Amino acid sequence: MSNPHAIGIDLGGTNVRCAVVDAKGQILHRVEQPTEADRGPNRVIAAIADQVAETIAAAGLNRTDVVGIGLGAPGPLSQRHGLIYNSVHLPGWNNVQIRAELARRTGLDTLLENDANAAAFGEYWAGAGAGGEGDLVMFTLGTGVGGGVIVAGRPLHGHYENAGELGHLVVEVNGHPCECGQRGCLEQYASATNLVRRAREAMQAGRESALKSTGSTLAELTCERIVEAVRDGDPLATEVWDEACRYLAVACVLIQHAFNPARVVFGGGMSQAGPLLIDRIVGHFNDMRWHLMDDFPRITLSALGTDAGVVGAAALVLRQAPGELAISNC
């Protein structure tokens, strides 16, 4: 196959994105459809198999033109065993053998990867890190904070396959309780959800802010509205936004010392704030980094945006050495 193609899938709690990707990281065609996870794993996997067939046909290809499927899914999961243990994004899914089932339904070898690792690999291969500069760590900032770590050209899984849960790095001792059972997790300070929570709590405690007079109730406050208010110079919005950026800079320092990567990338919905996000993170990072060596990562925005997951999942398949993709039904 002179120009091999692979399918990349990004299975999210709301939507499933599916794309045909070539060896240069270009998307030939993509199809997005609602996940409807509450229908249960069997019906969702059957729908994904149909989506794969539709995407291949729409790209003008045959199944034999495709090397395999890379499937990025929310964890915790076992990449090794092709198994989703359970996920807050897929309610009611427990110990689902998704890799074997998708391979059986499509007839294509399938690889399972944590969705944040897949997105990080997409950035490493065809996005912000595509210059070939080396190890890369990615944060995805949305409802929660996800993380992916690429070391020596591969996603880092760790002994228990849970490496890269960067949203649960503790950045504040005895801090806000997290759903995971720890306190002071990064996610409690730097996710879109918690940014809204912190602004709302401050206003309920009596702080004045332009966020109160937007015609919507406090319950309808969004991260996008907070970003607008930061641009307008609202002191409270600026304070909570800056606090989130400061905690993200703390995480960058931890990442620098743990992995010493060439680059740290920020993606996800909150990264649409652009320089407002990245310049503040870099500013705080420069204030708190050490002075013993100049071994600092480049801290940048995602280059692939919402395509990072599908491109990375497909790339993981395309980058397998011939014969290594024996992963369909084990």
Closest to 48 measured CA to CA, from 101, 109, 112? 101
Does residue 162 belong to the site contacting Zn ion (CB under 5 A)? Answer: no
CA angle centred on 240, ends 239 and 245, rounded to 5°: 95
Q: CB burial class (10 A; 0-12, 13-18, 19+) of residue 323? A: exposed
| Identified binder of Zn ion from the candidate list 44, 98, 171, 185, rule CB under 5 A | 185
Place of tokens 């291949």: 56
Instruction: Please give the Cα distance from 8 to 247 (Å, whole number).
Output: 32
Stretch that binds Zn ion, among 14-22, 36-44, 101-109, 177-185 (CB under 5 A): 177-185
To Zn ion, the closest distance from the beta carbon of 180 in angstroms equals 3
| Identified binder of Zn ion from the candidate list 58, 180, 258, 288, rule CB under 5 A | 180
To Zn ion, the closest distance from the beta carbon of 193 in angstroms equals 12
Q: Three-class SS of residue 298?
A: strand
Q: Which parts of 260-302 fold into alpha helices (H)? A: 275-288
Stretch that binds Zn ion, among 108-116, 142-150, 174-182, 195-203 (CB under 5 A): 174-182
Of the pair 165, 307, the CB lying nearest Zn ion is at 165
Does residue 33 belong to the site contacting Zn ion (CB under 5 A)? Answer: no
Size of the site for Zn ion (CB under 5 A): 5
Does residue 182 belong to the site contacting Zn ion (CB under 5 A)? Answer: yes
To Zn ion, the closest distance from the beta carbon of 229 in angstroms equals 27
To Zn ion, the closest distance from the beta carbon of 227 in angstroms equals 24
Closest to 66 measured CA to CA, from 22, 36, 105, 26? 22
Which amino acid does the sequence have at 255?
A: I
Q: Are 30 and 17 in contact (CB under 8 A)?
A: yes
To Zn ion, the closest distance from the beta carbon of 191 in angstroms equals 10
Of the pair 19, 178, the CB lying nearest Zn ion is at 178
Does residue 88 belong to the site contacting Zn ion (CB under 5 A)? Answer: no
Instruction: Please give the Cα distance from 170 to 69 (Å, whole number).
Output: 35
Contacts of 96 by beta carbon, 8 Å cutoff, 6+ apart: 41, 83, 84
Give the phi and the psi of residue 202 in degrees, each rounded to 5: -65, -40
To Zn ion, the closest distance from the beta carbon of 325 in angstroms equals 34
To Zn ion, the closest distance from the beta carbon of 143 in angstroms equals 13
| Identified binder of Zn ion from the candidate list 89, 168, 246, 289, rule CB under 5 A | 168
Does residue 178 belong to the site contacting Zn ion (CB under 5 A)? Answer: yes
Characterize the bridge pairing of strands 263-267 and 136-141. parallel
Of the pair 162, 182, the CB lying nearest Zn ion is at 182
Site residues (vs Zn ion, CB under 5 A): 168, 178, 180, 182, 185
